[in-house]
Structure 1
Amino acid sequence: MEAVFDNNDPQNSSPLEVFLHALSRIYAVAVKVRLAGYRHGIFKTRRLPCKVISIGNVTAGGTGKTPFAIYVAAMIHRWGLRAAVISRGYKGDAERRGAVVSDGSRLLASPEAAGDEPFLMAVRLMPLSVPVLVGRDRVRIGLQAIQRFAPDVIILDDGFQHVRLARDIDVVLLDSQRPLGNSHLLPRGVLREPLSSLRRADLFVFTRTTAKEKDTGSHPCRTLPFRLPDRPVFRAAHAPVLRVWIQPGQNAALEQLSRPGALEIRQLAGRRVFAFSGIAANAVFQRSLTGLGIDVSGFIGFGDHHAYSTDDLSRILDAARSAGADCLCTTDKDWVKLPRHVDWPLELAVMGVDIDLGGDAPGFAEQLRLRLCPAG
């Protein structure tokens, strides 16, 4: 399937590519009709009685929306404003009915009910007393958040396509390594909307910017096959962080993810590490470990939002033993979905990423301030 996505030669297309391209054209028509319906008032857009910031993208897959939503929520908190985060709760049991994942002080829903990413955000944001809610109907869940928590700002996680809910700021994330995938719409490619939809964005952030790109001053906009709308553009790196270290036979509380500790990635130096993940960018996670100089003796990747079973854990442990590993490694998003009462026979390192805007941080914060408080 990867070969299909990578082929952009229309003269050398397989029957499957032709079929997917035809489906993409149908999908494009459906998306354009829906957006036109909202633009012309046929479908109603609802506005909440508070400021709304959407963090989203135009591609399927990971661009760092979850850590970026956490980053923005922490920024809002530092300004002395009350924030709440709303996510769809994709593949969670509460996606349809909605739920409060955290009230800012307690976890009120399980990872299975909330979905892995909202649950992770809830755990990470508890020290800031930021509530997290989930639900497919963002308008209804937004009203519930206002009634219960009275936020000054609501942050929509993965909200760019949810045009039914009006927002004050649309932040669109683009992966600097492959901003538009193969530039085809689903299912021929990974674009969720036509590129013309980028005109709705207020700010662009290129994520996963490398140190080399920053040092050389190269700008990801130069690699795009088209010109972005005239909006402020920022660059952000994904800074790897070792969040939790579990000793053999130990259990670790989920709340450890929210505790800033003295863990250092160099604890993995000299270890033979077997890694596993079930995220949208498994290959990126694997490359990030090797890029840190970690000896990755083996790797197993699962589908995004994978629900781990005991058979999966047995497979992981058997593969780790066969690879001669003395340590396991996974992501924080995966760890929240693992069974809680597992006696790990090997040490387990739980990795996460923090958003690092570097020198772009003041400019990004100023743009948010201008749009949230235009008179102040």
Structure 2
Amino acid sequence: MSIAQYVQDAWNKKAPWLIVLRPLSLLYRLIFSLNKTLYTVGFKKSYTAPIPVMIIGNITVGGSGKTPLLIELVKYLQQQGIRVGVISRGYGGKGPFPLLVNALSEPDVAGDEPCLIVQSTHVPMAVGPNRQASIELLLQSEKLDLIISDDGLQHWALARQIEWIVLDQNRGLGNEKLLPEGYLREPKSRLNGSTVIEHTKVAQTQRNMHLEIGQLYLLNASVDLNGFDPRQCFNVVVGIGFPQRFYQTLNQLKVNQYQAHEFPDHHDYQISDLTFNNQDAIITTEKDAVKFKVLLKQHPEFNIPIWVVPVEAVLSSDCYALLKQQLQHVGIQFS
């Protein structure tokens, strides 16, 4: 287990020993607050795009469900006739940046989440650490009404008109401490006065979402003989921010005979990572699957079935009503 995985496991368990990291958390708070203040008072300048920008992010490290939410919002806006584009940091990709992402882009170049977003929606998308450069590249190639930023909530160099913060109630806020003592990027007070989308099956607020399981599919269809059987044994391969959520999904599918193989978020998979002592089928997430596609092209001899479990964000009606209201406020009308 890597140090990063060990610390993340401690966050999830609220391990008492994390208190030794408090001095680092205080330093993080100081640097973070100073940087934010420099932007607030205008000492550092933020870039304002020529069209409205909406940020979908979170105040925690690790998965919160924001990528399925973004995909759902993009599909919804496309149906409403709104020309939407997406930008992202492109974490895990090598670039060169800024980079336009298309359906043929590979995750080691553009990042795994951008590839998943584009493959799911065909939305115009640009990635790179410089958000301004990504927006300018995107607007050079597309006529757009709105840009959605995948994450970037704490990226004060980018001005925004709309912010949605996804709060996963399954994970909660842990020990409510800032990095690295806890997994908060910002104090929980950041939620006050913000648009918070509660991610939970049992909602306590009107603005909420949950994930529903889509139709499972086989990544290497040529090797399937008998179809999906939840009673068989599996090798679970997962490299996401909060793997426990995927295990809960497997429970819903009544998959309970498996060996778990966890990897860090955005892991750079090799074919050896999919090779085990047994011949059991593999089951994984869509985010991981975008990387497995590349491996299967490189290793056509690999004949172990790989099942993919897609999930879709289901939003409450209040989320859509709020989105329409916020977009109208910045001059974007629905068709």
Q: What is the TM-score with the length of structure 1 in the denominator?
A: 0.79
| Alignment correspondent of 2:111 | 115
Give the secondary-structure state (helix, strand or coil) at the position aligned to 2:178.
Answer: coil
Give the secondary-structure state (helix, strand or coil) at the position aligned to 2:257.
Answer: strand
- Aligned length, in residue pairs: 318
Give the AA of the match of 1:340: L
| Alignment correspondent of 2:296 | 340
Contact 2:61 2:185 in 1 (8 A): yes
| Alignment correspondent of 1:353 | 311
Change (3 A) 1:5 1:24: farther
Change (3 A) 1:100 1:4: closer
1:64 to partner: Cα distance: 1.0
| Alignment correspondent of 2:327 | 372
Contact 1:47 1:166 in 2 (8 A): yes
Report matched runs for 1:69-218 at 5 Å: 69-94=70-95, 97-102=97-102, 106-107=103-104, 109-126=105-122, 130-199=123-192, 201=194, 203-207=195-199, 209-210=200-201, 213-214=202-203
Deviations 1:254-276 (A, max 9, x none): xxxxxxxxxxxx93333332211
1:297 to partner: Cα distance: 2.5
Give the AA of the match of 1:333: K
Deviations 1:77-133 (A, max 9, x none): 111011111010012102x7220012xxx53x321010111111111112xxx1111
Distance 1:80 1:4 in 2: 42
1:283 to partner: Cα distance: 2.2
| Alignment correspondent of 1:272 | 233
Select 1:299's aligned residue among 254, 257, 260: 260
Give the secondary-structure state (helix, strand or coil) at the position aligned to 2:165.
Answer: strand
| Alignment correspondent of 1:227 | none
Give the aligned CA root-mean-square deviation in angstroms.
2.2
Moved over 6 A (4+): none
Contact 1:275 1:296 in 2 (8 A): no
Distance 1:206 1:292 in 2: 24
Contact 1:238 1:353 in 2 (8 A): yes
Give the secondary-structure state (helix, strand or coil) at the position aligned to 2:323.
Answer: helix
Contact 1:308 1:337 in 2 (8 A): yes
Change (3 A) 1:372 1:87: same
Distance 1:248 1:352 in 2: 16
Higher RCO, 1 or 2 (CA under 8 Å, sep at least 6)?
2
Change (3 A) 1:356 1:190: same
1:287 to partner: Cα distance: 2.6
Distance 1:50 1:89 in 2: 21
5+ residue gaps, structure 1, are 222-232, 252-265
Distance 1:190 1:158 in 2: 16
Give the AA of the match of 2:129: R
1:282 to partner: Cα distance: 1.7
| Alignment correspondent of 1:235 | 208
Distance 2:44 2:250 in 1: 46
Give the AA of the match of 1:285: F
| Alignment correspondent of 1:363 | 318
Contact 1:83 1:155 in 2 (8 A): yes
Deviations 1:179-211 (A, max 9, x none): 21220100111001122333463x21111x12x
Change (3 A) 1:248 1:183: same
Contact 2:61 2:183 in 1 (8 A): yes
Change (3 A) 1:123 1:247: closer
Deviations 1:119-161 (A, max 9, x none): 11111112xxx11110101111112211211211101001211
Q: What is the TM-score with the length of structure 2 in the denominator?
A: 0.88
Change (3 A) 1:3 1:308: closer
Change (3 A) 1:161 1:268: farther
